[in-house]
Amino acid sequence: MVALAATGQCLSIGTMFIYTFGVFAKPLAAAFNGSRASVSMAILLLNAMVAFTSPMIGYAVDRFGGRRVITASILALSLCLFALSAARPPLWHIYALYIAAGIAGTGSSPVAYSRVIANWFDRDRGLALGVASAGIGVGALILPSATQFVIQNYGWRQAYGVLGCLSLVMAAPMVGAFLRGTPQEVGLLPDGVAEASGSSRLAMNGQLSGLVLREAVRTPTFWMLCLIFYTVSACVNGTLAHLVPLLTDGGMKAQKAAATVSLFGAATVLGRIGNGYLADRFFAPQVAAAVFGGAATGVALLWQGATGNLVYFATFIMGLALGAEADLMPFLVSRYFGMRAMGSLLGCIFTAYTLGAGSGPFLIGAGFDATGSYRVPLSYAFPALALAALSTLFLGRYRYVRTAAEAVVAGARP
């Protein structure tokens, strides 16, 4: 199940639409007689649709199961990619197709896959979520370069077609044929659940403990998680979006500046797996505090004009925090609100994260435009990240843990 989820997320809406958009921007601007800014509006519209539809996708996964929702989403993404390969001016055709992808393709996001993995794993849930979400990082490392190769040799239309074929021929059949939303579908129990326990009998009968959305939104924990993940996303994604110009403004050569972005991507893969592993063995809010505190340190170093190896160090520790939406976020949601409506709740908090990813680059850029320097916006990003890291320590004890003994190991009273 973890391998299937990793493969699916490697070929998801994030990797095939968001991470590859940079290599499509210039040829699309030329083909549709638009500016790069006007073409980039497409990705803003897609992110807005992902933010809008994530809670509904989470609810659909809770109600109908992961396999149906994810498979339908993959097929819809394939159709959007094939349609993009045939798109003609005017530019609003591109906008319409990216909006359609944002609406129909959210089912291939971490919201859906995380719910499936959480159903299958309890004892090693953090590690399983981390390994599965590492597929996003692998896709982010491979697909942009591969897409650029196709564009250079065959054209941007063919590149969209190749991406559509990958989705249709690889992701859809694998998920549709082999993914199972719960272990109970094949007569198994979640990892770490003893067959004789009361929780296993409830699981076999389809009875899951936890809060529903209307109950969770009345708790301060829900809003704290929304604010924490919005802040982390806005500050880290915002800094990443402006990392190359920030470094070249400071005198670094463009080639070395680009290499730091690759280092950022590698750190993201490592962070997804490492953060999940640590969340299983230590109290997850403390893990989150350490990871987000590291990101704050990285921003502070860039704010103070770090040079040489310090730049690489700052980039690396920021990258460790970027994958938190796919492992620490679902892990915390499952432990604080239970599994009953995990998809719906995760979708809502993922919306906050997505809004941060969309607004962060704009806010950092606006700060630069207003002051002529990145120092001022980074001076705000640093305390914001530090406050987010500190806030995780006030989330309190887990409300839904496994057994009394394991609760103590997890760092919380049962």
The chain-wide mean pLDDT, for the chain, equals: 87
Co-location of 224 and 171 in the same domain? no
pLDDT of residue 195: 52
Using one digit for the tens of pLDDT, what is the confidence trace for 326-381? 789 999 999 999 999 999 999 999 999 999 888 888 888 888 888 888 899 999 99
Boundary (domain end) residue, out of 123, 156, 179: 179
In a domain, 76, yes or no: yes
Please state, for a pLDDT cut of 70, what percent of the chain lies above it: 91
pLDDT of residue 344: 94
Whether the predicted pLDDT of 100 surpasses 60: yes
Whether the predicted pLDDT of 53 surpasses 60: yes
In a domain, 31, yes or no: yes
Co-location of 81 and 168 in the same domain? yes
Co-location of 126 and 225 in the same domain? no
Average confidence (pLDDT) over 163-171 = 94
Average confidence (pLDDT) over 309-318 = 88
Average confidence (pLDDT) over 313-320 = 88
Average confidence (pLDDT) over 58-81 = 94
At 277, which CATH number? 1.20.1250.20
Co-location of 230 and 154 in the same domain? no
pLDDT of residue 255: 67
Co-location of 141 and 244 in the same domain? no
Please state, for a pLDDT cut of 90, what percent of the chain lies above it: 56
**224 Cβ contact partners less than 8 Å away, ≥ 6 residues apart:** 391, 394, 395
pLDDT of residue 258: 67
Co-location of 149 and 265 in the same domain? no
The total domain count for the chain is: 2
pLDDT of residue 199: 46
In a domain, 365, yes or no: yes
Instruction: Give the range with max mean pLDDT: 69-73, 136-140, 253-257, 308-312.
Output: 69-73
In a domain, 400, yes or no: yes
Co-location of 175 and 244 in the same domain? no
pLDDT of residue 402: 54
One DSSP character per residue, 56-99 reads HHHHHHHHH-HHHHHHHHHHHHHHHHHHHHT--SSTHHHHHHHH
Region of poorest pLDDT, from 101-110, 196-205, 262-271, 372-381: 196-205
pLDDT of residue 309: 84
Co-location of 163 and 230 in the same domain? no
pLDDT of residue 327: 86
Using one digit for the tens of pLDDT, what is the confidence trace for 231-276? 999 999 888 878 878 888 888 886 677 677 777 778 888 888 999 9
- Residue type for position 54: S
Band the pLDDT of 203: cuts 50, 70, 90: very low
Band the pLDDT of 407: cuts 50, 70, 90: very low
In a domain, 204, yes or no: no
In a domain, 235, yes or no: yes
Co-location of 218 and 175 in the same domain? no
Co-location of 46 and 145 in the same domain? yes
pLDDT of residue 410: 41
Co-location of 169 and 245 in the same domain? no
Boundary (domain end) residue, out of 161, 179, 197: 179
Domain residues for 168? 2-179
Co-location of 143 and 265 in the same domain? no
In a domain, 195, yes or no: no
Boundary (domain end) residue, out of 179, 197, 224: 179
Average confidence (pLDDT) over 214-228 = 96
In a domain, 203, yes or no: no
